[in-house]
């Protein structure tokens, strides 16, 4: 979220809902719902004049989800005891964000055909396909690996004949004769799997496994996620995932303020969400444009930053993020694509200068000027710019192409936008946007110690009076934003 922007809040206290989310301005009225649905009535009590439910009671949260889906979405729904119980307003936010991405025209749309999505790990609740199909008429492949999820997701689809044709439930586990190869990424047509399997060409698997993604990230050891599950010739407008966030069930803990259930199979995987989403990225490197948008939810902001820089390394054309806030909990949405963006544009022009500077004040004790210098280098390297760090002059010389500058300034290592901000759409479609010139930009960043805890960061464009100075200013603003969020209290 940009500096100075307040998070817009509406609906229940502590929630930030997407403006198109029906609960944004109309939080569920428990008293009305209790009067309409006798099965919900026992869970509603009054605290003063306000009707409430006990959020720590699983039966209460499950019944609330059931009647919200019925009352507001005409959906019949149920899950067995203990299975992860979704909150409808929260899950609706992700669906609306995807709808924003699809209609943003950041990447060209495929007009005419029905939107087709892939829900990775749909759970017994099958919530995303049910909402996506009923709200927008989207078609879904909904995958999972546990018997209970596959059985109940199918039941939830069959209970809704008006949309049942739109949702296919698919088992992600490899067929038994291929179980020993489950970790090997393959593009497989599961229909014809018994006869042949189309293995990724050697050079592609080499790229995949030698990729730096494997070095720094925890490894995912589980069943296939996209590769080996997506059929030959299948294409999708998007994939989405609410992944198993945690590495251990202990880490998953139980939020004492709510009870949403969730079994270890649903909440935990080897390496947690970092490993799971890294595998989705690896799969996307192979599947590339067969999905218009790859997306996932994340539970840890640190993972968001790490995965964003990985995405730039593997050559995506665009990265988008958002924040979902529900009560005390924040979740982040991460989206990327390999499809060329519709137009090469950057944020609206800002003052053109060949020298810029900003102060880093209140730097936390553990960081030195050398750390900041190194971080400046990493900032530009992460988008592919070439950098030369000189530790005696405390400077970094940078040469960045217009595409790399575009990455930094448009999406860059920028922090998340809230679901309310929608800044990217405006940026991308704003008629005052600047066409990025083809030439490279060459500049130097210097770090000066002013006093303990304060540094001056100065940037100077090597091509004085360059027509690219506006672009330089935009890039420099992104650097300032990133350094301040990283080093300042
Ligand atoms: C946190 S739950 C999400 C369930 C549901 N989408 C929701 O939002 O409530 C994660 C789900 O991913 C499933 N899962 C784990 N590994 C998977 C894989 N390789 N492919 C598909 N689903 C997987 C789990 O069984 C579980 O149902």
**CB of 156 closer than 6 angstroms to any ligand 1 atom:** no
% of residues, the chain, pLDDT over 90: 45
Burial-class residue 320 by CB neighbours within 10 Å (0-12, 13-18, 19+): buried
CA separation for the pair 154, 189 (Å, rounded): 22
Residue 290 Cα to ligand 1 midpoint, Å, equals: 22
Residue 151 Cα to ligand 1 midpoint, Å, equals: 13
**CB of 88 closer than 6 angstroms to any ligand 1 atom:** no
Neighbours of 24 (CB within 10 A): 22
**CB of 272 closer than 6 angstroms to any ligand 1 atom:** no
Mean pLDDT across 152-179:
90
Q: Is 242 annotated as a binding residue?
A: yes
Substitution site in 94, 145, 220 for ligand 1 pocket (most atoms within 8 Å of beta carbon): 145
**CB of 265 closer than 6 angstroms to any ligand 1 atom:** yes
Q: Rounded to whole angstroms, what are the CA distances from 213 to 219, 372, 474?
A: 9, 24, 29
Q: Is 144 annotated as a binding residue?
A: yes
Mean pLDDT across 293-322:
91
Domain ranges of the chain: 15-337, 356-487
Residue 342 — φ and ψ, nearest 5°?
-65, -40
State residue 431's pLDDT score.
Answer: 25
Give the residue whose CA is nearest to atom 2 of ligand 1.
266
15-337 and 356-487 have identical folds:
no
Residue 10 Cα to ligand 1 midpoint, Å, equals: 29
Which segment of 138-152, 243-257, 371-385, 441-455 scores lowest on mean pLDDT? 243-257
CA atoms within 13 A on the CB side of 342: 16
Answer whether residue 245 shows pLDDT above 70.
Answer: yes
Residues constituting the chain: 489
Q: Which pLDDT band, with edges at 50, 70 and 90, does 349 fall under?
A: very low
State residue 255's pLDDT score.
Answer: 57
- According to the per-residue pLDDT averaged within each range, which of 17-31, 32-46, 199-213, 366-380 is highest? 32-46
Neighbours of 80 (CB within 10 A): 12
Fold held by 15-337: Rossmann fold (3.40.50)
State residue 411's pLDDT score.
Answer: 52
CA separation for the pair 402, 400 (Å, rounded): 7
Answer whether residue 7 shows pLDDT above 90.
Answer: no
Given the structure tokens 């270890």, which residue do they identify? 264
Tokens of 409: 């300034």
Of all atoms in ligand 1, which is nearest to the CA of residue 297? 8
State residue 260's pLDDT score.
Answer: 80
% of residues, the chain, pLDDT over 70: 75
**CB of 213 closer than 6 angstroms to any ligand 1 atom:** no
Q: Which pLDDT band, with edges at 50, 70 and 90, does 257 fall under?
A: low
Q: Rounded to whole angstroms, what are the CA distances from 85 to 63, 90, 330?
A: 10, 11, 17
Q: What is the CATH number of domain 356-487?
A: 3.30.310.80
Which segment of 86-95, 96-105, 387-396, 447-456 scores lowest on mean pLDDT? 447-456
**CB of 143 closer than 6 angstroms to any ligand 1 atom:** yes
Residue 122 Cα to ligand 1 midpoint, Å, equals: 5
Residue 275 Cα to ligand 1 midpoint, Å, equals: 14
Answer whether residue 299 shows pLDDT above 80.
Answer: yes
Tokens of 58: 């699983």
Answer whether residue 39 shows pLDDT above 80.
Answer: yes
**CB of 120 closer than 6 angstroms to any ligand 1 atom:** yes
* Bridge partners, 361 (sequence order): 454
Q: Which pLDDT band, with edges at 50, 70 and 90, does 210 fall under?
A: very low
**Which has more pLDDT, 160 or 468?**
160
Answer whether residue 63 shows pLDDT above 70.
Answer: yes
Residue 108 Cα to ligand 1 midpoint, Å, equals: 30
- What number is the ipTM of this complex? 0.99
Q: Is 465 annotated as a binding residue?
A: no
**CB of 127 closer than 6 angstroms to any ligand 1 atom:** yes
Ramachandran class of 38: left when φ > 0, alpha when ψ lies in -120 to 50, beta otherwise: alpha
**pTM listed for this prediction:** 0.67
Give the residue whose CA is nearest to atom 13 of ligand 1.
121
pLDDT tens digits for 396-450?
999 988 778 877 765 543 333 322 222 222 222 222 222 334 568 888 999 988 7
Answer whether residue 345 shows pLDDT above 60.
Answer: no
State residue 256's pLDDT score.
Answer: 57
Mean pLDDT across 204-217:
42
CA separation for the pair 78, 371 (Å, rounded): 53
Q: Is 91 annotated as a binding residue?
A: yes
């Amino acid at each position: 979220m940009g500096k100075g922007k307040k998070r817009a809040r509406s609906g229940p206290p502590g929630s930030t809902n997407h403006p198109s989310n029906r609960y944004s301005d109309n939080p569920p009225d428990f008293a009305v719902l209790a009067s309409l649905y006798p099965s919900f009535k026992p869970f509603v009590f009054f605290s003063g004049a306000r009707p409430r439910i006990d959020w720590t009671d699983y039966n209460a949260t499950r019944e609330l989800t059931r009647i919200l889906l019925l009352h507001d979405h005409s959906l019949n729904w149920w899950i067995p005891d203990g299975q992860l119980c979704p909150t409808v307003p929260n899950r609706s936010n992700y669906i609306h964000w995807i709808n924003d991405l699809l209609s943003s025209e950041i990447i060209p749309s495929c007009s005419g055909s029905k939107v087709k999505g892939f829900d990775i790990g749909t759970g017994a609740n099958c919530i995303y396909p049910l909402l996506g199909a009923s709200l927008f008429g989207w078609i879904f492949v909904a995958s999972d690996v546990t018997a209970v999820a596959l059985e109940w997701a199918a039941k939830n689809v069959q209970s809704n004949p008006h949309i049942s044709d739109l949702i296919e439930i698919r088992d992600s586990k490899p067929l038994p004769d291929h179980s020993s190869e489950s970790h090997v990424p393959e593009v497989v047509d599961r229909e014809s799997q018994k006869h042949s399997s189309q293995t990724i060409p050697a050079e592609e698997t080499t790229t995949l496994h030698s990729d730096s993604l494997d070095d720094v990230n925890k490894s995912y050891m589980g069943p296939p996620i996209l590769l080996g599950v997506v059929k030959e010739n299948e294409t999708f407008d998007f994939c989405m995932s609410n992944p198993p966030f945690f590495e251990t069930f202990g880490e998953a803990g139980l939020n004492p303020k709510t009870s949403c259930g969730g079994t270890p199979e649903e909440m935990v995987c080897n390496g947690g969400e970092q490993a799971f989403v890294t595998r989705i990225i690896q799969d996307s490197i192979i599947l590339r444009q067969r999905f218009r948008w790859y997306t996932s939810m994340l539970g840890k902001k640190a993972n968001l930053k790490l995965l964003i820089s990985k995405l730039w390394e593997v050559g995506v054309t665009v990265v988008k993020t958002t924040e979902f806030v529900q009560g005390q909990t924040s979740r982040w949405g991460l989206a990327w694509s390999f499809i060329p963006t519709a137009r090469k544009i950057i944020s609206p022009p800002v003052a053109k200068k060949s020298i810029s500077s900003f102060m880093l004040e209140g730097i936390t004790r553990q960081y030195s000027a050398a750390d900041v210098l190194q971080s400046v280098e990493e900032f530009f390297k992460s988008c592919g710019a070439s950098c030369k760090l000189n530790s005696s002059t405390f400077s970094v010389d940078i040469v960045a192409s217009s595409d790399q500058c575009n990455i930094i300034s448009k999406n860059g290592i920028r922090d998340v936008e809230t679901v309310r901000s929608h800044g990217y759409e405006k940026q991308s479609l704003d008629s005052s946007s600047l066409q990025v010139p083809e030439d490279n930009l060459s500049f130097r960043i210097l770090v000066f110690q002013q006093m303990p805890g304060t540094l001056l960061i100065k940037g100077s464009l090597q091509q004085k009076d360059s027509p690219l100075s506006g672009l330089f200013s935009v890039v420099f603003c992104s650097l300032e934003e990133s350094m301040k969020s990283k080093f300042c209290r």
